[in-house]
């Protein structure tokens, strides 16, 4: 058993976590992810983690106890993208994600259903980035080059959906020339 600094964010279907040794060990980055109701984290059950509540806690965890994190619920694609955005925001607070990562998650999740929630949760830097990004979206998306609104990652490339781009342009009230 080791002492860990465990940060928890409780969602309606899962618990987001980031944990690291306390005190931190040089060159050891910690752990980040989600735990679902039928899972746990290093010997602590979902219910035990839930009882800790949102925030940062000093806890004893056993890394050798590789408890399965549980089964993610079936969510529609828009909800999956929004939940990924929320988890990325939590990770950003703990140095797991960069500002560019957060922007990419927001752009992919920016749908009619979740645009308001994305903006409500967005830190100021992200709102400024979304505003600047929206200013570059042409009125006629047919005029764009195929790789103009693409997110590049180690997993490959992902085209930002046209519906997201149009909504982003409408939300921020600017139309690029």
pLDDT in the model for residue 152: 83
Pull the structure tokens for residue 145: 């080059």
Average pLDDT by stretches of 10, the chain with 177 residues? 91 93 76 94 94 95 89 93 94 92 94 95 95 87 75 81 90 60
Do 115 and 152 sit in the same domain of this protein?
A: yes
Number of domains in the chain: 2
- The answer to whether position 16 is within a domain reads yes
Report the alpha-carbon distance of residue 120 to residue 98 in Å, rounded.
Answer: 19
Note if the bond before 126 is cis, omega within 30 degrees: no
Do 82 and 57 sit in the same domain of this protein?
A: no
- The answer to whether position 69 is within a domain reads no
pLDDT in the model for residue 172: 87
Report the alpha-carbon distance of residue 75 to residue 167 in Å, rounded.
Answer: 22
- The answer to whether position 177 is within a domain reads no
Strands 40-41 and 2-10: unpaired
Do 100 and 44 sit in the same domain of this protein?
A: no
pLDDT in the model for residue 15: 96
Do 88 and 166 sit in the same domain of this protein?
A: yes
**pTM (two decimals):** 0.86
Domain range enclosing 17: 2-61
Region for 27 from its dihedrals, namely left if φ exceeds 0, alpha if ψ lies in -120 to 50, beta otherwise = left
pLDDT in the model for residue 176: 42
């Amino acid at each position: 058993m080791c002492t860990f600094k465990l940060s928890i964010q409780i969602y309606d279907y899962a618990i987001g976590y980031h944990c690291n040794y306390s005190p931190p060990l040089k060159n050891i980055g910690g752990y980040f992810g989600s735990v679902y109701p039928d899972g746990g984290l290093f010997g602590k059950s979902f219910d035990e983690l839930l009882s800790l509540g949102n925030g940062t806690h000093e806890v004893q965890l056993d890394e050798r106890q590789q408890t399965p994190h549980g089964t993610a619920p079936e969510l529609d694609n828009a909800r999956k993208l929004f939940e990924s955005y929320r988890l990325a925001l939590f990770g950003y607070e703990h140095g797991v994600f960069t500002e560019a990562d957060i922007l990419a998650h927001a752009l992919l999740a920016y749908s009619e259903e979740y645009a308001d929630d994305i903006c409500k949760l967005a830190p100021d830097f992200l709102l400024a980035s979304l505003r600047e990004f929206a200013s570059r979206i042409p009125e006629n998306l047919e005029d764009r080059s195929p790789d103009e609104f693409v997110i590049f990652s180690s997993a490959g490339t992902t085209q930002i959906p046209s519906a997201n781009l149009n909504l982003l342009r409408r939300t921020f009230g600017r139309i690029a020339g």
